[in-house]
Amino acid sequence: MSARRPARARGGVDAIVRLAGPRLPVVSFLARLPAALCPTGTLLMVTALAGVGRGGVVAGVLWAGQAVGGPLVGRLADRRGHRAVVLAASVANALATAALVLAALARLPVPVQAGCAVLTGFTVPQIGPLSRTRWIALAARRPDGPELAAGALAFDTVVDETSFVVGPALVGVLAWAVHPAAGPVCAAVLTAVFGALFALHPTAPAAAAREPSAGRPRRGALLVLLAVSVLQGVVFGATNTGVQYLARGDVGAGGLVWSAMGVSSAAAGFVLTSFSARFDLTARLRTALAVQALLSLVLLSVDTVAGATAAVAAIGLAVAPTLIAVFALAGRITPPERMGGAMTLLGSGLIAGQGLAVTAAGPLAGARGHTAAFALACTAGALALLLALTLARPRRFPPLPTAPNPLPAAPAT
């Protein structure tokens, strides 16, 4: 048995990659890397040039712009097709990021830098969420669509988690070796080049036909998933704040600890990519949240950076399964012609939750220490589990009828 398992894993990944070809995962990874690069790079750049207070304000405003702009970009992509919308957003985002860098280097007033940061966040081309809509649309054309879609979403989550490991590390290397502004500059270049390539890839869906009978997402079920996403964002933000406080401002150590979650989450996502689902998605969501809630309690006894690294890595094992289940359930209850809006809404929920958590956990950690920030993460995780246990039931998430013409692909270039 042990000799046959690796072949099975490779087959699972190969089947997923064959859906779109090997170029899409590479382009998608490099196009979404700026989403991990830019906020951290902005914080580091502005902090180095003007102090931590201004850095926090400008980076926070960038996150807020991304949370607001994400669903709008997703809805436009549904209505106009991925090509035009992602291409326009990529160009606009690259220009806004360049303007932010110039404003920071020129030490322009905070409102000017904040305005550039809002535009930078607002125009993020939402590669991650829109990539998920492509995998779902591609899998829907196959006889084994549901199983293949679950594996594809797991694979895409691995790509996502890897980008959020590489991004902050790349920011640190560029800032140390080149200049504090090198991270945002790199993000602008990657967005301009690979955002455009993602927009023009043959898998880009064209605009869905707008018919009077066009379906709508099941709003109650989507709101449950949005609430879980926001609470999951709070877990991320509060945990990260506690880690940074425990590291006492050593950004390098704090980033290294936080990357442990990305590594273990990516590993868990790869395992789910390689094996088919054994039970219902709602059960998978509840199980993943229960594991996360239990493992998070370890944070309350952490007093060292080494202990935080071990605890955060353990929690990461439940992160990818949670996110995979959330996005897969959204795909189940959302019509193809509205998939982009639903996926970007959930992504914005994660971002909004992180922003809220940082705002609340910072003062808590300052007043009561890192354990207070970790307690906020544990509370959010427990609330997400309670919400899933009471409202994420199979009857609320029955699959929609299969659409006759789901998200037509644009002609290949």
Residue 115, in any domain of the structure: yes
274: left (phi over 0), alpha (psi -120 to 50) or beta: alpha
Model's pTM, two decimal places? 0.83
Question: What are the b/e assignments for 130-159, b being 16+ CB within 10 Å?
Answer: bbbbbbbbbbbeeeebbebbbbbbbbbbbb
Q: Are residues 298 and 187 in the same domain?
A: no
Let me know: does 171 contact 41? Beta carbons within 8 Å.
Answer: yes
Whole domain around residue 25: which residue ranges?
1-145+164-204
Using the 3D structure, point to which of 176, 204, 232 is the last residue of a domain. 204
Low-confidence ranges of the chain (pLDDT < 70): 1-12, 52, 145, 208-217, 249-255, 274-279, 400-413
Residue 199, in any domain of the structure: yes
DSSP characters over 97-123: HHHHHHHHHTT--HHHHHHHHHHHHHT
CATH no. for residue 224? Answer: 1.20.1250.20
What is the DSSP secondary structure assignment for residue 303, as one 8-state letter? Answer: -
pLDDT digits (tens, 9 = 90+) for 138-189: 887 787 767 787 788 888 888 888 887 788 778 878 888 899 899 999 999 9
pLDDT digits (tens, 9 = 90+) for 183-238: 999 999 999 999 999 999 999 888 765 554 445 667 889 999 999 999 999 999 88
Cβ neighbors of 174 (< 8 A, separation 6 or more) are: 41, 182, 183, 186
Let me know: does 149 contact 331? Beta carbons within 8 Å.
Answer: yes
Q: Are residues 233 and 307 in the same domain?
A: yes
CA distance 114 to 103: 9
Residue 137, in any domain of the structure: yes
- Split into its structural domains, the chain has a count of 2
Residue 188, in any domain of the structure: yes
Residue 236, in any domain of the structure: yes
**Cα within 13 Å of Cα(213), Cβ side:** 2
Q: Are residues 89 and 184 in the same domain?
A: yes
Q: Are residues 272 and 353 in the same domain?
A: yes
